[in-house]
């Protein structure tokens, strides 16, 4: 809604922003009624083992793939958005930075890199950078495809 106001969008954009807020509040109200906790969908994440940022940084310096990918997704994603701040719209920047801030502060650090893949702003930003460097684009696509295959095999083996 802030972005729609700042960019002087038509009233339909305000309605869309209000609809998102109503959806979030409605689900929180449902959780409060059904489970006695309005943020049950956040608190249930604590049932799974969640590393701390200190654990992730220790694993990063020990070159563990999971920790490296988490740090690269968060730090690299933030840098990418900052680097492209003049080429991306304010909507994409707000969404990207708010999503990264949510990931950093959520406490659900086990899946940070997986959630970061869903941040559309990062995909658009990476596409903008790689569109002007085709050879790097092929290398990055090969790296991501290899990583995806590795993770799919690991998941299929219950790893």
Mean pLDDT of 81-100: 90
pLDDT of 81 strictly over 80: yes
Q: Is residue 82's pLDDT more than 90?
A: yes
d(CA 125, CA 85): 9
- Crossing angle for the helix pair 134-156 and 120-131, to the nearest 10 degrees: 140
Domain boundaries, the chain: 1-47, 49-159
Spatial CA neighbour of 87 closest among 59, 49, 125: 125
**Both tokens of residue 13?**
């954009």
pLDDT in tens, 23-35: 989 999 999 999 9
Cβ-proximal residues to 37 (8 Å cutoff; 6+ apart), any chain: 31, 43
> What is the model's pTM?
0.68
Assess contact for 113 and 65: CB atoms under 8 A: no
């Amino acid at each position: 809604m802030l972005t729609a106001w700042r960019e002087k969008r038509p009233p339909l954009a305000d309605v869309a922003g209000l609809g998102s807020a109503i959806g979030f509040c409605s689900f929180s109200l449902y959780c409060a009624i059904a489970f006695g906790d309005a943020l049950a969908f956040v608190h249930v994440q604590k049932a799974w083992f969640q590393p701390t940022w200190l654990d992730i940084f220790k694993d990063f310096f020990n070159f563990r793939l999971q920790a490296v990918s988490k740090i690269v997704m968060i730090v690299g994603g933030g840098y990418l958005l900052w680097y492209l701040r003049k080429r991306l719209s304010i909507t994409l920047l707000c969404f990207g930075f708010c999503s990264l801030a949510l990931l950093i502060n959520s406490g659900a650090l086990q899946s940070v890199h997986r959630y970061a893949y869903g941040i559309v702003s990062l995909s658009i930003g990476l596409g903008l950078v790689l569109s002007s460097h085709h050879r790097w684009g092929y290398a990055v696509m090969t790296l991501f495809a290899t990583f995806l295959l590795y993770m799919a095999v690991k998941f299929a083996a219950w790893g």
